[in-house]
């Protein structure tokens, strides 16, 4: 593929998936951090451009895998501020403060129950119910077999039912 | 997931609110997608930057306990026992410290051995890398599809200090990459995390 065509395709994939990737980060970290993590995903994609799958669906999943890895790496290293994200950071409401996921209000007790699951179960639930991925897609993003994802998902749902039932019973 | 499960409804409604995608936001995301290509070329590779050098270098610490040499305040957990810690001065006079930790501990050990008996200042070519950076074509774009030159001599090109720090990282990472490859460590085995603390913080541009 010619360099110009390749650049155009990468740009189009990034632009098409950027809203969902931004939402992915907004559901997990503070909004100003979400802007920088999105910028980091974009920079990472250009660095690993030769790995971008040709199929748009596979490319979208690969972008989510990249986002997940960027988030994991950010949790154990310095949080970086990218100039690329300066404008976006200012456009996001409530850019400073707590992560959106910790906001009080509707669903707070459910989010709390999710947070108390084992990390691999919690992320599976978030990918399916917050990010709108199918279970098969979530398995791909988490780089686990679909059968493993199904088992984990059933376990997560059972633990959530029990936790939420106990939560409501205690009121 | 075919049967109705009230838990599904609760889970769906628990999703934290995200920013509404307005036309303005979509435009900005598209601008970022376009600009990220040239930005990546400008900022270099995060996971490949390492070790400074040159005539301005003032010290090199490598090996076990290296982090203790310059203090650990302000660094994340990953850098507390870095495989290499390097202190050098920018052309403007400010001090910088770079720390490198390889993802793979075995690679980190090999890197420590490499750095234990090497004077990086004498083996890497910072000026040569700067010459390459200045000769490298670079362009950016905006949300309207306009493209513009972002290379050397334009307002978008890094400052002298940032250019120097970038060149130091590139030259040293090339050196380290070559030495690791010679020792059979290649590809993803060379992945590293690095960060730099400088008296003057770069914002990624001038």
pLDDT at B71: 38
pLDDT at A119: 92
Q: Is A163 in the B-facing interface, judged by CB distances under 8 Å? A: no
**Which contiguous run of DSSP H or E holds residue B10?**
helix B6-13
Give the separation between CA B157 and CA A7, rounded to whole angstroms: 21
**pLDDT tens digit sequence for B133-150:** 888 777 665 545 666 677
Most distant CA pair in chain B, distance? 70
Name the more confident of B199 and B151. B151
Name the more confident of B164 and A7. A7
B chain contacts of residue A39, beta-carbon cutoff 8 Å: 32, 36
ipTM of model: 0.87
Chain B residues whose C-beta is within 8 A of a chain A C-beta are 1, 5, 7-8, 10-19, 21, 24-26, 28-37, 39-41, 43, 45-46, 75-79, 193, 195, 203-205
Could you state, in order of their start, the residue ranges of all structural domains in chain B? 20-198
pLDDT at B121: 66
Report the predicted TM-score, pTM, of the whole model to 2 decimal places: 0.56
CB–CB contact B45 A47 (8 Å): yes
Please provide the DSSP assignment of A93-149 as one string.
TT-SSS-GGG--STTHHHHHHHHTS-HHHHHHHHHHHTS---HHHHHHHHT--HHHH
pLDDT at B100: 72
Residue A149 in contact with residue A136, Cβ under 8 Å? yes
**pLDDT tens digit sequence for A70-121:** 888 777 655 667 778 878 887 877 544 444 444 555 688 899 999 999 999 9
**pLDDT tens digit sequence for A136-155:** 999 999 999 999 999 999 99
**A86 Cα distance to chain centroid:** 21
Residues 6-25 in A contacting B (C-alpha not used; CB under 8 Å):
7, 10-12, 14-15, 18-19, 22-23
Q: Does residue B174 have a pLDDT over 70?
A: yes
B chain contacts of residue A130, beta-carbon cutoff 8 Å: 11, 14-16
Name the more confident of A99 and B161. B161
Give the separation between CA B24 and CA B185, rounded to whole angstroms: 46
Give the separation between CA A57 and CA A131, rounded to whole angstroms: 15
CATH code for the part of the protein at A104-171: 1.10.10.10
Residue B139 in contact with residue B147, Cβ under 8 Å? yes
Average pLDDT, integer, range B68-93: 64
**pLDDT tens digit sequence for B38-67:** 877 655 433 333 333 222 222 233 322 333
pLDDT confidence band for A169 (50 / 70 / 90): low
**pLDDT tens digit sequence for B111-130:** 888 888 776 666 777 788 88
pLDDT confidence band for B93 (50 / 70 / 90): confident
Give the separation between CA B187 and CA B161, rounded to whole angstroms: 30
Q: How far is CA B97 from CA B34, B45, B85, B201, in A?
A: 32, 17, 7, 12
Give the separation between CA B39 and CA B36, rounded to whole angstroms: 5
* A38, A76, A92 ranked by CB distance to B77: nearest: A76
pLDDT at B206: 28
Phi and psi based region of residue B144 (left: phi greater than 0; alpha: psi -120 to 50; beta: remaining): alpha
pLDDT at B157: 79
Mean pLDDT of chain B: 70
Q: Is A120 in the B-facing interface, judged by CB distances under 8 Å? A: no
* Beta-carbon count within 10 A of B6 CB: 9
Percentage of chain B exceeding pLDDT 90: 4
Which of A1-5, A121-125, B135-139 is the most confident on average?
Answer: A121-125
Q: Give the SS3 label for residue A71.
A: helix
Mean pLDDT of chain A: 85
Residues 23-82 in A contacting B (C-alpha not used; CB under 8 Å):
23, 26-27, 31, 38-39, 42-43, 45-47, 73, 76-78, 81-82
Q: Where in chain A is the domain with CATH 1.10.10.10?
A: 104-171
Sequence-distant (≥ 6) Cβ neighbours of residue B159 within 8 angstroms? B202, B206
Q: Is A146 in the B-facing interface, judged by CB distances under 8 Å? A: no
Q: Does residue A42 have a pLDDT over 80?
A: yes
């Amino acid at each position: 593929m010619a360099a110009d065509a390749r650049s155009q395709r990468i740009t189009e994939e990034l632009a098409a998936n950027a809203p969902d990737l931004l939402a992915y980060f907004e559901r997990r970290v503070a909004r100003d951090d979400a802007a920088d993590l999105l910028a980091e995903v974009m920079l990472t994609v250009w660095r690993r451009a030769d790995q971008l799958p040709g199929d748009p669906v596979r490319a979208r999943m690969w972008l989510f895998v990249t986002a997940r890895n960027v988030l994991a790496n950010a949790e154990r290293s310095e949080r970086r501020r990218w100039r690329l994200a300066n404008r976006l950071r200012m456009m996001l409401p409530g850019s400073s403060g707590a992560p959106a996921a910790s906001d009080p209000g509707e669903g707070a007790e459910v989010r709390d129950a999710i947070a108390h699951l084992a990390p691999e179960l919690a992320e599976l639930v978030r990918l399916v119910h917050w990010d709108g991925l199918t279970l098969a897609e979530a398995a791909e993003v988490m780089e686990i077999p679909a059968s493993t994802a199904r088992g984990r998902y059933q376990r997560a749902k059972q633990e959530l039912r029990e936790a939420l039932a106990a939560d409501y019973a205690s009121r | 997931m075919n049967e109705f499960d009230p838990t599904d409804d609760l889970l769906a409604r628990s999703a934290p609110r995200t920013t509404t995608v307005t036309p303005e936001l979509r435009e900005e995301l598209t601008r970022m997608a376009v600009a990220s290509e040239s930005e990546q070329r400008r900022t270099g590779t995060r996971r490949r930057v390492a070790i400074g050098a040159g005539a301005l270098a003032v010290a090199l610490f490598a090996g076990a306990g290296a982090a203790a040499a310059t203090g650990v305040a302000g660094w994340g957990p990953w850098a507390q026992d870095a495989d290499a810690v390097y202190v050098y001065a920018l052309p403007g006079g400010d001090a910088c410290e770079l720390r490198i930790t390889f993802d793979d501990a075995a690679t980190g050990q090999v890197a420590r051995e490499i750095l234990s008996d090497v004077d990086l200042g004498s083996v890497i070519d910072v000026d040569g890398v700067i010459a390459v950076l200045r000769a490298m074509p670079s362009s950016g774009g905006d949300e309207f599809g306009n493209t513009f030159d972002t290379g050397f001599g334009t307002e978008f090109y890094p400052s002298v200090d940032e250019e120097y720090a970038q060149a130091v990282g590139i030259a040293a990472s090339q050196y380290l990459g070559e030495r690791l490859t010679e020792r059979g460590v290649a590809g993803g085995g060379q992945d590293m995390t690095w960060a730099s603390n400088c008296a003057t913080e770069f914002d990624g541009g001038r």
